[in-house]
Amino acid sequence: MTSQQRVFVTRNIVPNAILRLKEYFEVEVWEETDPPSKDILIQKLQNFDGVMTEVSDVIDDDVLSSCSSLKIVANRAIGYDNIDLTSASKYGVFVSNTPGILQDSCADFTMGLMLSLARQVTRSNRKVIAGEWRFFDQTPYLGTDVFGKTLGLLGMGEIATAVVKRAVGFDMEILYYSRSRKPKLEEIYGIKSTSLDELLSKSDYVSVHVPYTHETENLIGQHEFQQMKKEAFLINTSRGGTVNPNALREALLEGSIAGAALDVTVPEPIAPDDPLVTMENVIITPHIASASAATLQRMGLLAADNIIAGLRGEKMPSCLNPEIKTFK
């Protein structure tokens, strides 16, 4: 029934998901550590019905227009800015993501970055590793508190909501800026909807949780950094493109803000010689906010389930373009 259908997996990250796919399809896995290039993707996907992708795999119009047999792109991520959804729909290719899974892992990580920035956890650890802890002296590492401070959240989706639940435990005042009001969350947690400028000017910590779109590209730039407190910190676990990297470098060098923690960058991975990498008030992690073992497994299995359902003509658990009704 489905034995002739073929699925390409762009990384050997979730073996259980690959095993599940092999129950239904012929599966080929890209075994290299580095992701396949666009040329390789075009070459590989010529004769495949489905592909499981990672966020670093760019599935644009060039790829989609070249792969006439492709029916499903299952992104192992909640974001899908690496996929041209308009082109996919034009060519009759279903696209799916993995929502409802990673919000708690990402919220935990966001709080971890916030605490590390505030209390200089990462910086002080680097000093110990470098052999610079020679006697008891706390003064070089005096930080700021998190409890009782003001947290500003850009966006109020699943991840930001999970951050709210954690931040209330630190007795934080929580402001948020979103396209739509969340009156139920306001009532339950006492959070306040506000303008972007007011959020920036009042927050001690600004955390970005918006999807990456044309509207949110460079959402935080020079003007926004000028609105922030000099004692404030920026945390970004969304997508690197939501923050203008040149404006961020300038703000940090000029002392317009106190520091930043970035799980996402532009480009990604960030160049080793980028000034941000060596700034003592900056933490950069390699896009791992969702990388708990359990979350990784669940995301992979959901991506596999999307492919299985779609290629079997069943309803996909999380299809992003169901309006195309049926694949080509």
* CB distance 208 to 237 below 8 Å: yes
First to last CA, the chain: 18
How far, rounded to the nearest angstrom, does the alpha carbon of residue 286 sit from its chain's CA centroid?
11
Write b or e for each residue in 74-94: b if 16 or more Cβ atoms lie within 10 A of its Cβ, otherwise e.
bbbbbbbbbbbeebbbebbbb
* CB distance 19 to 37 below 8 Å: no
265: nearest Cα among 257, 274, 256: 274
**239, 250, 280, 323: which is the annotated catalytic residue?**
239
8: nearest Cα among 318, 21, 63: 21
Residue 81: partners with Cβ closer than 8 Å, 6 or more residues away: 55, 211, 212, 213, 239, 241
Residue 318: partners with Cβ closer than 8 Å, 6 or more residues away: 96, 97, 98, 99, 100, 302, 306
CA 39-44-46 angle, 5° bins: 105
Instruction: For residue 227, give the H/E element and its range.
Output: helix 222-227
- The token pair at 287 is 């896009």
Instruction: For residue 53, give the H/E element and its range.
Output: strand 50-53
Question: Which single residue is written with the structure tokens 């760019």?
Answer: 58
Task: Please confirm, yes or no, whether 268 is among the known catalytic residues.
Answer: yes
**32, 268, 298, 314: which is the annotated catalytic residue?**
268
* CB distance 248 to 221 below 8 Å: no
Q: Is 128 exposed, middle or buried (0-12, 13-18, 19+ CB in 10 A)?
A: exposed
Task: Please confirm, yes or no, whether 298 is among the known catalytic residues.
Answer: no
CB atoms within 10 A of CB 1: 6
Task: Please confirm, yes or no, whether 323 is among the known catalytic residues.
Answer: no
Q: Which residues are catalytic?
A: 239, 268, 287
